[in-house]
């Protein structure tokens, strides 16, 4: 999977780094700057439009029943952030139901990556929901162990 997204040298470095990681916390620390996280409140009519605009992962990949309702958690290109926020009238709100992970990485590649267990687990492990956080961390631990 990653070899199609990375060059040979980068893929080799990634494999070497993953073999050396001892703990899930080490992986999370290395990936903490993959996106800037913003939380918003949104009108429920904006939610379906928002889901169509962002690259979202599927928590069912982790065995979590996705009772998303009015919740959205996804990646958006940094260049699109202001337009998305203004066009959907999103309001900054630390307790809001919309989490946008703003990235400068190519959004089409991000769409491919969010379809993996790894990114689903990374996002879950940084959730404010303790249940999701535990599921994400367990999955990351299993993925790291299977890689070694």
Please check whether residue 101 is in contact with residue 110, taking contact to mean a CB–CB distance below 8 angstroms.
no
The DSSP 8-state label assigned to residue 96 in this structure reads -
Length of the chain: 148
Residues 6+ apart with CB under 8 A from 13: none
pLDDT at res. 128: 76
pLDDT higher at 4 or 144: 144
Strand, coil or helix: what is 89? coil
Residue 67 has pLDDT above 90, yes or no: no
CA 39 and chain centroid, separation = 13
Digit-coded pLDDT (tens) for 104-147 = 989 998 898 888 888 888 888 888 778 888 998 998 888 877 76
User: Beta-carbon neighbour count of residue 132 at 10 Å?
Assistant: 19
Q: What is the DSSP string of 104-127?
A: -S-HHHHHHHTTSHHHHHHHHHT-
With bands split at pLDDT 50, 70 and 90, how would you rate the model's confidence at 68? low
Rounded mean pLDDT, 22-38? 81
Can you tell me the distance from the alpha carbon of 51 to that of 66, in angstroms, rounded to the nearest whole number?
14
């Amino acid at each position: 999977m990653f070899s199609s997204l990375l060059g040979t040298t980068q893929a080799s470095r990634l494999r070497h780094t993953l073999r050396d990681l001892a703990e899930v916390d080490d992986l999370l620390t290395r990936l903490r700057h993959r996106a800037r996280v913003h939380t918003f409140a949104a009108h429920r009519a904006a939610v379906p439009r928002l889901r169509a605009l962002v690259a979202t992962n599927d928590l069912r990949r982790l065995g979590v029943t996705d009772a998303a309702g009015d919740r959205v958690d996804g990646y958006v290109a940094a260049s699109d952030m202001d337009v998305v926020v203004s066009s959907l009238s999103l309001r900054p709100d630390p307790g809001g139901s919309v989490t946008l992970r703003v990235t400068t990485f190519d959004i089409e590649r991000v769409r491919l990556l969010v379809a993996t267990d790894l990114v689903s687990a990374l996002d879950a492990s940084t959730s404010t929901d303790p249940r999701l956080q535990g599921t994400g961390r367990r999955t990351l631990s299993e993925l790291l162990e299977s890689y070694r």
